[in-house]
Structure 1
Amino acid sequence: MSKTKVLLVGAAGETGGSIANGLLEDGSFEVIALVRPISVHKPAILRLQERGIAIRKCDLKAPEEQLIEALAGIEVVISCVGPAEQQDQIPLAKAAKAVGVKRFIPCGFITVAPPGGVMWLRDEKEIVYNQIRQLWLPYTLVDVGWWYQLSYPRLPSGRVDYAMTSGNDEIIGNGDVTTALTDLRDIGHYMALIIKDPRTLNKKVLAYNLVSTQNEIYNLMEQLSEEKIDRNYVPEETICSRVLAARQASETYPFDPIKFIPRYLAEYQYSWGVRGDNNPEYAKYLGYYLTPELYPEYKPTDYREYLESVIRGTAKGVYTDRVISRKHQRHFPRTESSDSLYTRIFPRTESSDSLMSR
């Protein structure tokens, strides 16, 4: 039986890497990575090739005829582009329509939130979704909840710092708002199930493992680590003030994209921590299918077991080469290599630091 040809955009990233793993492990797919010509010799791309992933070279900003050529023979497109590249997917969608792609999965993969002013990132994605619908292109929209890998707090001993991107030392409001959690590594397995499932065509899916609160996560970390963790409760009013300040500071986008990092952080906290959007019940209200209902036979990664691996020192962190603010740099010693990488991607400004240190 022939394998389904899947073109994966962003295969070297965190989400894209999980999807590549899940599709390869499933065995039903031929995975092809779309890569910018200037990136084809990067170590991460060479590692993809070593695993049997074919490479097609094309930039998302290339002329439509080149995108059409890159999509030749492709049945499913999965896009995992960066926050600032969302609308770059529109030409790719047009090319997918032209060649008859059977399913286009644009870059969703964030927490549940309604469109229209709650999260800028959500609204950027919705622009792409609307373009896809206008093309009458078969699609599936997939969101994934909050990652396990970003959900837990720092321990006073520092023994889980190796796997953390930031100190993650804030509890929003009273800490009792429920949020859907997903292990990054499970996303690829969910995608293998979703793109083989006719029920998910032209639908929205929330792929998640469990629902928890920040207080419950802190309690579990204290139990497993036998360490007492300080609880820094941040009032809803503070989060709302951060959102307003970050929105005002980001008005110069795209000329100063660094200003959107505080906005991403503040709006995520506002959406899942204050509004409680990232909740399966609300997702169903918004029209999502839920993976526990679609695939009851699938056994996701157990959250307790994941936290145990973090505490043991055997977990793998995400975005560990990045630093979010000076506030967190005190906990995570910086190196020249990590600094230079970070500043090449996100030039530092005093305004972005002061916003998150309030």
Structure 2
Amino acid sequence: MGKSKVLVVGGTGYIGKRIVKASLEEGHETYVLQRPEIGLDIDKLQILLSFKKQGARLVQASFSDHRSLVDAVKKVDVVICTMSGVHFRSHNLLVQLKLVEAIKEAGNVKRFLPSEFGMDPARMGNAIEPGRVTFDEKMKVRKAIEEANIPFTYVSANCFAGYFVGNLSQMCTLLPPATDNVTVYGDGNVKVVFVDEDDVARYTIKTIDDPRTLNKTVYLRPPDNILSQRQLFEKWEKLSGKQLRKSTLSEHDLLSSMKGLDYAQQVGVGHFYHIFYEGCLTNFEIGEDGEEASQLYPDVNYTRMDDYLKIFL
């Protein structure tokens, strides 16, 4: 069996560009959606042209032109959507419903991977407002996929290292704190899963031709990267030779801090609550409807967080 042809929607984005790279490296004929709405965004255009140099094919289509989407989808076997669901960037999850309609009409797609790549929305039914909007919208997309009988794989990638590791899981920064003062969420012992974004892409591409992942959720839980916040601090202290000054933030104080924040910040605080206080990434066993990526693909030499942190020294 040959390798599937892949269409990446959202290929110029944070995870999308890594998915395109991983798809090309794995030898897939790779197509990237080029939307006319790109306008004068020179950065996105340059990214698209760099893909073309690497061997990807650019396909013109627009979410406002159903026929163009159908034509794009007909060129491939697998569609991967990586549109952003992060509120402080852009938030376009429900636009995927148009893509679902195009895939349904085209009728040729063997696998659709919608934009997920975070917490498993199926386990977030009790999430607090306003952050639950992310999970509710992902579930609407899932419902549309399953009602259309489109074969799928959902990827739950947990915490991207870029957002949660370099900053030692501190809010409102992406860098280690310059003052060595850090906030500990609760007792700091809740286990969290951190994954390098390039590894997210590698694992994702591995799933697309794998019968074991068809119509399942794939959880990325590399065992050496299942760490508590305190364990993350210890790694940084060992690497940097600095002692962090830790102050504890109670669950009550975290939730109280949401008052007065803008909408995007409130969403973020809500997600931090579920991750670092409830332990939503690790407080369940993966059942028959799921698989764990590092067990399926032991050949992927994933990045450990000690190595990831070295770039910040």
Q: State how 1:153-302 maps to structure 2 within 5 Å.
A: 164=175, 169-209=182-222, 210-242=225-257, 245=259, 259-279=262-282, 282=284, 284=286, 287-302=289-304
Q: 1:179 to 1:81 in 2, by over 3 A?
A: same
- 1:313-353, Cα deviation, whole Å (9 max, x unpaired): xxxxxxxxxxxxxxxxxxxxxxxxxxxxxxxxxxxxxxxxx
- Residue identity matched to 1:90: L
- Please give the alpha-carbon distance, in whole angstroms, between the structure 1 residues aligned to 2:49 and 2:65: 26
- Residue identity matched to 1:228: Q
Contact 2:159/2:195 (8 A) holds in 1: yes
Q: State how 1:47-66 maps to structure 2 within 5 Å.
A: 47-60=50-63, 62-66=64-68
TM superposition shift of 1:293: 2.3
- Please give the alpha-carbon distance, in whole angstroms, between the structure 1 residues aligned to 2:292 and 2:285: 8
Q: Which residue of 1 aligns with 2:310?
A: 308
- Please give the alpha-carbon distance, in whole angstroms, between the structure 2 residues aligned to 1:73 and 1:25: 20
1:104 counterpart = 2:115: no
Contact 2:165/2:194 (8 A) holds in 1: no
Equivalent of residue 115 in structure 1, options 118, 124, 129? 124
Q: 1:165 to 1:202 in 2, by over 3 A?
A: farther
Q: Which residue of 1 aligns with 2:38?
A: 39
1:232 partner SS: strand
Equivalent of residue 90 in structure 1, options 89, 97, 101? 97
TM superposition shift of 1:72: 2.0
Contact 1:150/1:164 (8 A) holds in 2: no
TM superposition shift of 1:128: 0.4
- Residue identity matched to 2:292: L
The alignment's TM-score, normalised by the length of structure 2, stands at: 0.85
**Higher helix content, 1 or 2:** 1
Contact 1:152/1:221 (8 A) holds in 2: no
Q: Which residue of 2 aligns with 1:74?
A: 76
Contact 2:176/2:312 (8 A) holds in 1: no
TM superposition shift of 1:287: 4.2
- Please give the alpha-carbon distance, in whole angstroms, between the structure 1 residues aligned to 2:247 and 2:21: 37
TM superposition shift of 1:172: 1.2
Contact 2:286/2:292 (8 A) holds in 1: yes
- 1:24-46, Cα deviation, whole Å (9 max, x unpaired): 1112x111111211327622222
Contact 1:154/1:169 (8 A) holds in 2: no
The alignment's TM-score, normalised by the length of structure 1, stands at: 0.74
Q: 1:107 to 1:265 in 2, by over 3 A?
A: same
- 1:70-94, Cα deviation, whole Å (9 max, x unpaired): 2122100000112221111011111
